[in-house]
Every structure is written in C-alpha cells, then in structure tokens.
Structure 1
Amino acid sequence: MMLETFRNVFKIGDLRRKILFTLMILGIERIGTHIVTPGIDTAVLAEGFRDLQNTLFGLYDLFAGGAFSKAAIFGLGIMPYISASIIIQLLGAVIPYFQKLQKEGEEGRKKIMQYTRYGTLLISAMQSLGVAIFLQSIQLADGRLAVPNPGIGFQLLTMISMTSGTMLIMWLGELIDQHGIGNGISLIIFIGIIARFPAAIMEEYQQFSIGQRGLLAEIMLVALALVVIYFIVLLTQGTRKIPVQYAKRVVGRKVYGGVNTHFPLKVNTAGVMPIIFAQAIMFVPSTLLTFLPDSDFFLSLQQLFSMDSWFYWIVYGLMIVFFTYFYTAIALNPVEVAENLKKQGGFIPGVRPGKKTQEFLDNILTRITLPSSIFLAIVAIIPAMLAKWAKIPYSLASFYGGTGLLIIVGVALDFLQQVESHLFMRHYDGFMKSGRVRGRRG
C-alpha cells in the first residue's frame, strides 16, 4: 500500500511539481553549506572545532546543518531569522503596536514579516562579525591559525558572505512556502539535521564490525528508537478538545450560528523551544571555558555541568519544565481566546463567558502542559543517558531524543499532512487508509 501511495503522489502533476521543486531548493541549500568563506584554512578549522561540539557553537552548528563548523557562507543557517521571529513574537506580548499588527489579519502579517526580515538582516550582520572575530581567535598548539590573514578585510568579507547567505536561505524558505510543499524554514532545518544521520550510522556500523556491540544490542537500539519516535508522535499530535457552542443569531432572514464544534488545545503548545532555551543556557559554562581556558572556576563549573552528570540532568530537566510553561504562556493567551469566543457568540457549555472561560482554559492548559513538559525533559536527557550507559557515540545518540529528533518528527508529520491533503482531495488513498494522519482533509 505504501508503494502504491508513492506512485499516486507522482501521478498528480501539481503535487509532483511541488515535491520536485522543494527537493531542488533543498539541494541548493545543501550546496551552500559546503562553500567555505574565503580566507580560512579549513584543515585548522576542522581540528580546532573538535573541542567545541558540546558548547553553544555545537548547538548552533546543529541548526546550521554542519555549515557553521565549516565556516561556510551558509554558516549562520536560518537561526538569525528564527531569532528575529521570536523577538517579534515576544514584542507582540508587551508592545501594543505589535499586538495591533497581530490582529490586523493579512496586512498585519505582511508588516510583521517585513520587520522580521529587517531584524534578520541586523542580527545576521552582528552575528557574522562575532563569527569573524571568533574564527580569528582559533589557533592550534603548533601555532597555525584558522585565519592566516586576519584583520578588518577578513571581518568585512565574512560579514558580507554570511549575511548574504542567511538572507538567501530565508528567500529559499519563502520559495518553498510559495511554490513547494511543506514549511520552507522547517524543511531547511530538517534537511540539515538529517544530513548528519549517514555519518552517525557509519560510525555505529564500525563499532558493530569490530565487535564492540553485538547484534542483540543493535536490535534493542532500533526498538528503542521506534518507541521514542512513537511517543514523540503522540506528544506532537496530542490535543485536548474543548467543546464550544455558538448561539443562534438572526440577521434579516438568515440564521447564523447554532453549531457545536470544539477548540483544540495542543498538549505540546511550546514545541521544541523549551529544549532550545534550556540547552543554550546549559552550554554557557563550557562555552565560557573556551574563552577562559585557565580559569579554575569555569573549569570546575564545566565539570559540574558535564552532560554525563546527574546534576546536569536534573537542572536541565527542571529548566525545560520552566521554559515549557513560559513559552506556552506566550504562544497561547487564554484571555484573548476567551474574548474572541465571546465576540463570536461562542461559549463553553457549563462555563460562563468572559473571565470564567479564561480561568477554565488557563486551568486546562496548566494541567496538560505538566505531562508535556516532563516528557520533553525525558526526551532531552535520553541522548546523554545513552552516551554514558550504552557507550553510544553522541552523534548517533542525539537521534534518540533532544532537539534534533523533535524537529525531525514534527517537520515530517507536517509534510505528510500536506501530501495527504493533496491525495485525499483527488480521491487517492493516503499513507494510512484509516486516515489517522491528522490534517488529512478535503
């Protein structure tokens, strides 16, 4: 049935063109991750970056698809755009002007997108300057420099190259949104993470071939991966349906409303953001140690925040729980939801409109966020546990949880939902005959 579904996908001309266009754009993006910024000794850079994997630079390299560790023109990845989007979203919670834009529909969305682009340009310029200064500081024990000819010329060239690269990635993502299928920005991050998978599999195969791990252990690892993915899918797709009724209204000779529907509250409203925020903070001690290698304080702090320590796991988990509640409060405001329901003539059965509806939604959101935050914390800690106890290389263990796996599952589900919609509208069977891939609709 799955092979027949893939054949049906390419039978639909419009869908086939969208998929091929998306693959072409992703291919162009991957080419850009291998074009190195001029003026860099790549051999020295590769050797100097080995000790930076468990720092903020390693986290940044994950989202850049490996381009940051190569100092490629796409080295900043799409992170400046994501940072600008988050900043604009946070401003919408505290500044009335941005709150007004968020409520203005399509025109407001266009203005927010314009401000996001300006913010992306500014953040890219600032970050590329910081990257240039950082690259100039890389020096090996034998005296070789990652940048043989440092100076203002190299800094300007790096700023122009990497800022242009980020703006190009943003444009490529928008092209996918307009002419391809799926969310362009998400797919670019997705393909960058997946690009690491073949190398991780080869490293694990080498350990298996030399007898370091047996066949039964490998089978158990595969089974564990499937179980983790299954529960992540449940978390990503899980919703709490709040019943909503709309009162009948008579306008002239027409009757409006009088329908029963539901308002879906996602179990994991915050998505992957809590893990990103918590991970960024947890990497601060090891990042500072790279700039202050002789500091005894930061050395002891790094040992305390080592990824294989119980202290790291507990603090990391608690921070994820905190940021899950924090980001959920920003992403979904019960006050606005209650006001919108009241304006549209809707109400929750048994709950009075207005403040009581707000308190009811806030109570439900608080309850469903707790198990979601705990599960996110467990998923984030799984890779470190496997690396310590199962002696799995962290390059492979990272695909058992954490930021990477959550992004992979979330983007894959979104892509499948959109493909399912195209198939269903043209009366083809989807990937599952029972139609359980949510988002499949006519």
Structure 2
Amino acid sequence: MSDRAERPEGRRGLRNRILLTLLVIVVFRLGQNLPTPNVNVRALAEVPKADNQLHWVLDLLTGGALLTLSVFAFGIFPCLAATMVLRTLINLIPRLAALKAEGEAGARLLTQYRRRLTVGLGLLGAVGVVAAVAGHTSPGAAGQGRDILDDHGVLPLAVMVVCITAGTAVVMWLAEAITDRGFGDGVRILLLAQVVAVLPAEFLRLGQAKGGAAIAVMTVVALSVVVVTIFVAQAQRRIPVQYAREMVGRRPYGGASSYVPLRIPQSNGPAVLASILLYLPVLATQFWPDAAWLKWATSGLRDEGTPWRMAAYFVLVCLFALLRTAGTIDPDRLAHEIARVGGFVPGVRPGRPTAQYLGYVHHRITAVGSVYLGGVALISALGLALLDAGPRFPFGGVTILVVLVFLVGVTLDTAQQIDVRRAQSDYERLLH
C-alpha cells in the first residue's frame, strides 16, 4: 500500500515541474507583450519597421519586446550580459576568482553580484531607451506626427524607467524559478521562448517573398542542422582509466575501470560573434559613407551569398570556436585528479605524460569541434544563398543556427533531467 502511495508522488513532482516551466514561459511572454505605462500603443504601431539585420537582431535578443516598449523590454538579454560580464571579471579580478574557489559560500556571493549587475544593466538600458523615445514621433494616417509617449514629464518618464527596470528583475526571478523548481536552465529556456516567438512572422514573410520553394529549402536546412547537432551532441571520446588493485587482508579491492568523457562543446556564440563582426564594416559605412576603404571592405560582405563572405564567416566561426573551447579543460589538473584517486591511463605513465596525452586528445577534439561549428554555421548561410536572400532580409542565417542549436540543446538537457528525476523517484520508491 505504501508503494502505491509513493508512486503518484514521484509522478506528481515531475508534473509540477513541467507545469511550472510552462507557466513561467506564459508569464514571460505576457510581460513581453504588455506595454509600458505612458506609451501610445497606436502611435507606436504606426512606426515603420526597418527591414534590415539590426531589426531582426533586436527581435532575436528581446523577442520583439524592445521595439514595442513592453514591460519586459530587454527580455532575458540583461541576464545573459550580466553572466558574461561577471565571467570576464572573474578572470581579471583575483578577489572574484578567490570567491569562485571558496565553494558554496563564494557561489552565493557571486550570485548576489550577478543579480545586482543584472538589475544595474536593466536600469542603464531603461534610461537609454526612455531617453531615445522621449522626442520620437510617428507619421500619422493624415501625415501628421503623433507622439509615442502620452506625457513627456519627469514623473511619467521616471515611471517608465522604474517599470522596465522592475521587469528586468522579474525576468531574472522567472529564470531562477525555472532553474530551481522547473526543468532545464531558466535563462536558456526563456531565451529559446523569445527567439521562437519571432519565427512564425519571419517564416510568413519568407514564404511571401520567396514562395513555397523557400519553405522547402529552409526545412531541409533545419533538418540537416538538427541531425548533425544531435549526432555530435551525443558523441563523446572516452579515455579509459584503470584504478590500481589493493589487498585489504585477503580480499582485493579496487581494480575497476572507468573513463573520462570528452565532448565537443555545443555553442552558437562563435556564429553570433562572427556575424556581428562581419556586420560592423557595413554599419560603419552609414557613419562614413565617403570612406573608400570601407566601400572596398564591404563590397564582398553585404550579400550573404558571396563566396568571400561565406569564407570569412566560416573562418571566423572556426577561430572563435577554437578560442572558446581551448581552455575548457585543464590537462594538468585532470591528470593530477586521476593520479590522486589511484587511477592511470593504460599505456601512459602517470603525471606529466598523462597530462600531455590528455592535452593532445583535447586539442584534436577542439579542432574537430571548431570545424564542425563552422560547417553547421555555413549550412544556414548556404541555404540563404540558394534563396538569394540579401543582407537586408530579416531572416538571417545566424537566426536559424541559434534557434536550432538552442532547440536541440534545451530539448536534450530537459529530457536528461526528466530521466534523472524519474530514476530518482523510482529508486526512492523501491527503498520504501
């Protein structure tokens, strides 16, 4: 009878986590569509949307919330930026590096710093956005301009800043709620939610501009990226480790064998960085249109289908991926940990030779992983080249890559967490 009582509890816990994750996503999307006080929604709807890369990059990073001045205007972007800034400061400031090494107590203090930095970035961005739109008008139906803001007083503008900053804090709390009481990483899930929210309109515009053949091409591209990403994400290089056998009395202990799994990191950061870096010269021509060297530099970078741009894109993605994954594993520390527990790699002497062997394998995997990321990024660029989509087309290749890699990564992580939770509940039920 007790076994039957314990079984629904485990299933109920899984169901509650799934429902909580879905509820947080719904609240997050509602906040991204809720306008900030003092915003004239009708006038904002009349503002023409620029059909360029900057527009869809803002939509990608904020789920379309920034261009509509919603309460969650910045989406999950402040949380991502705060994490990246804090990670950089940890490598630069010894005090923060010491906190990271202190364990749980240091992690709690770093979490407080990350939260404060997130709210600070939200406040800074809110002040900038409110100041930018304070004097902006939109063309009315009769040709007369209409103010986007209902009131330009100090108090209404301050209320807008407070609402957007509070929205940043709420988004941070929602992400932490998913991480602690839901499934998966809250930041990644909310980022995926706001990116996927932009896709239906972009697919509709793609079909209207290029026809049904474009949808077929993008479907093939998407399936190719998904299959390759899943295959590589599940692959691992297992380095065998043998543990020494010890005699305690008359009984032998130890002698078991294990392995060190090395995987190719899944990241679309290199593709995003490469796309932004290639777009900077094009953006610079808007400020210095008469610069001859900028015209020459951007002549082969404007169109995503040119061989020069695709070659530069592939090289940059491989380079950024190589730099990102080069220091993910410390061979000396890993070799020391293996020797500390009495293990050794068969055929390799313990100590420095083991560290050199681990470094050699890691470097080869890093090289293969960088070429893989460059190839996956190039698949989406080739798809746009087949569609003859110019650089001002709002559905960029990096968008496809970001969405698909995030979709595969979040799906695999969530499925693994569900399996682990289910195994834990079944194990606890058997113990009772």
Q: Which residue type is aligned with residue 20 of structure 1?
A: L
8 Å contact from structure 1 (residues 386, 397) kept in 2: no
Larger deviation, residues 188-197 vs 165-174 = 188-197
Q: Which residue type is aligned with residue 365 of structure 1?
A: H
Larger deviation, residues 228-237 vs 393-402 = 393-402
1:171 is matched with 173
Is 1:101 aligned to residue 62 of structure 2?
Answer: no
C-alpha distance 152-407 of structure 1, shift in aligned 2 (>3 A): farther
Cα-to-partner distance string for 1:118-149 (whole Å, 9 max, x where unaligned): 22122222222233334347566766554565
- Secondary structure in 2 matching 1:267: coil
8 Å contact from structure 1 (residues 33, 75) kept in 2: yes
> Using CA pairs below 8 Å that are at least 6 residues apart, which structure has the higher relative contact order?
2
Q: Distance in 2 between matches of 1:405 and 1:159?
A: 34
- The equivalent position to 1:320 in structure 2, one of 301, 317, 322, is 317
1:276 is matched with 272
8 Å contact from structure 2 (residues 51, 394) kept in 1: no
8 Å contact from structure 1 (residues 320, 377) kept in 2: yes
1:115 is matched with 113
Q: Which residue type is aligned with residue 276 of structure 2?
A: A
Cα-to-partner distance string for 1:336-358 (whole Å, 9 max, x where unaligned): 33343344443323333443333
Q: Which residue type is aligned with residue 195 of structure 2?
A: I
Map 1:172-321 onto structure 2 (within 5 A).
172-203=174-205, 206=208, 212-213=211-212, 219=216, 221-248=218-245, 258-268=255-265, 271-288=267-284, 292=287, 295-297=289-291, 300=295, 304-308=300-304, 309-321=306-318
C-alpha distance 14-129 of structure 1, shift in aligned 2 (>3 A): same
- Secondary structure in 2 matching 1:123: helix
- Secondary structure in 1 matching 2:37: coil
- The equivalent position to 1:61 in structure 2, one of 59, 62, 66, is 59
Q: Distance in 2 between matches of 1:288 and 1:422?
A: 51
- Secondary structure in 2 matching 1:69: coil
Q: Which residue type is aligned with residue 295 of structure 1?
A: P
Shift of residue 26, structure 1, vs aligned partner: 0.8
8 Å contact from structure 2 (residues 53, 396) kept in 1: no
Q: Distance in 1 between matches of 2:405 and 2:87?
A: 21
- The equivalent position to 1:356 in structure 2, one of 332, 353, 357, is 353
Q: Distance in 2 between matches of 1:253 and 1:125?
A: 69
2:430 is matched with none
8 Å contact from structure 1 (residues 9, 423) kept in 2: no
Q: Distance in 1 between matches of 2:47 and 2:307?
A: 29
C-alpha distance 184-346 of structure 1, shift in aligned 2 (>3 A): same
Overall identity of the aligned pairs, in %:
28
Shift of residue 400, structure 1, vs aligned partner: 7.9
Q: Distance in 1 between matches of 2:311 and 2:189?
A: 32
Normalising by structure 2, report the TM-score.
0.81
Q: Distance in 1 between matches of 2:111 and 2:29?
A: 25
2:14 is matched with 15
Cα-to-partner distance string for 1:70-124 (whole Å, 9 max, x where unaligned): 2212111222222222222233334433333333332232222122112212222
1:432 is matched with none
Shift of residue 48, structure 1, vs aligned partner: 5.1
Consecutive unaligned residues in structure 1, runs of 5 or more = 1-7, 429-442
Is 1:418 aligned to residue 417 of structure 2?
Answer: yes
8 Å contact from structure 2 (residues 221, 383) kept in 1: no
Q: Distance in 2 between matches of 1:218 and 1:319?
A: 28
Shift of residue 363, structure 1, vs aligned partner: 2.1
C-alpha distance 237-202 of structure 1, shift in aligned 2 (>3 A): same
Shift of residue 281, structure 1, vs aligned partner: 2.7
Q: Distance in 2 between matches of 1:171 and 1:73?
A: 15
Q: Distance in 1 between matches of 2:252 and 2:170?
A: 50
Larger Rg: 2
8 Å contact from structure 1 (residues 59, 280) kept in 2: no
C-alpha distance 255-287 of structure 1, shift in aligned 2 (>3 A): farther
Consecutive unaligned residues in structure 2, runs of 5 or more = 1-6, 428-432
- Secondary structure in 1 matching 2:411: helix
C-alpha distance 219-345 of structure 1, shift in aligned 2 (>3 A): same
Q: Distance in 1 between matches of 2:118 and 2:250?
A: 51
C-alpha distance 182-241 of structure 1, shift in aligned 2 (>3 A): same
Normalising by structure 1, report the TM-score.
0.79
C-alpha distance 303-243 of structure 1, shift in aligned 2 (>3 A): same
C-alpha distance 230-158 of structure 1, shift in aligned 2 (>3 A): same
8 Å contact from structure 2 (residues 243, 255) kept in 1: yes
Q: Which residue type is aligned with residue 92 of structure 1?
A: I
8 Å contact from structure 1 (residues 54, 286) kept in 2: no
Q: Distance in 2 between matches of 1:372 and 1:286?
A: 29
- Secondary structure in 1 matching 2:291: helix
8 Å contact from structure 2 (residues 274, 316) kept in 1: yes
C-alpha distance 405-180 of structure 1, shift in aligned 2 (>3 A): same
Q: Distance in 1 between matches of 2:285 and 2:153?
A: 25
Q: Which residue type is aligned with residue 27 of structure 1?
A: V
- Secondary structure in 2 matching 1:322: helix
Q: Which residue type is aligned with residue 25 of structure 1?
A: V
Shift of residue 408, structure 1, vs aligned partner: 1.5
Larger deviation, residues 180-189 vs 358-367 = 358-367
8 Å contact from structure 1 (residues 173, 184) kept in 2: yes
